[in-house]
Structure 1
């Protein structure tokens, strides 16, 4: 039996086994600590019975750094397609290879979605490599869809899919779209 719990600073010494996958982005310790300081409720781990960390999620709540073109924000009246309203964001989600296919990714994602919904966010989004079909399928099963394709997003030149899932505030699902794979933007349109 594994347990979802809040991430603690000393967990950072135990997450290396979860970062072995080449598709997992690994960050410097200061990056993780910034998330733990700013968004402690959105950083969670799955701890196994043996005390090992089997997976983790780093998340945050944010909006675009510049003011909304319309106040108050509403998707139907927003003239700027790149403006991001208040939303939850999954920065990192990874599961140790030995703990995959146990529902851990779903449990961690649902915890972040619940926190984002409680904070009245419009949606939750994430970026996933265009080649990472396994992760895309996982997110689709959880209700995410591609909002846009960010060309040359990663340092190696690979594109990313910006995937989103509407939360209860977005009753009419105006923050998601059909055929988002066909909408291409450059990284400078994404902050």
Structure 2
């Protein structure tokens, strides 16, 4: 995604942006966009129906720098995002993850998430590769 996408999220849902920082001030997370490198660790939003006043949280991006993985950081960031969603009146949190990303799929399952459905060709591929499905 480009910078306008992230800025729109930041403007609408600033409370859903969480950054993790090492004791020395080093940022431990980053987004997939090179221009946004080391700015965001977890990014989410609220989704739902204004008419029915039904809301839920949605994890848009979660990333931890390789040197800080396997420390429980992703689980803590998810916990914080879930708490924010609950305080805002959300009754669940959802997300999409690449079918091929078994490390992430397993982590989310350990955190209590389950596969609700498969969304065919959710992720656009580059350089002639086929699009990828998501859970």
The TM-score bracket by the shorter chain reads: 0.7 to 0.9
Q: What is aligned with 2:43? A: 58
Structure 1 alignment gaps of length 5 or more: 1-26, 74-84, 162-191
Alignment of 1:76-95 (within 5 A): 85-95=54-64
Q: What is aligned with 2:132? A: 158
Q: Is 1:29 aligned with 2:3?
A: yes
TM-score by length of 2: 0.82
Q: Is 1:49 aligned with 2:18?
A: no
Runs of 4+ in structure 1 over 3 Å off: none
Q: What is aligned with 1:130? A: 99
How far the C-alpha of 1:50 sits from its partner, in A, is 2.5
Larger radius of gyration: 1
Secondary structure of 1:148 counterpart: coil
How far the C-alpha of 1:64 sits from its partner, in A, is 5.3
Q: Which whole-Å CA distance do the structure 2 matches of 1:116 and 1:29 have between them?
A: 24
TM-score by length of 1: 0.59
> Aligned-pair RMSD on alpha carbons?
1.6
How far the C-alpha of 1:121 sits from its partner, in A, is 1.1
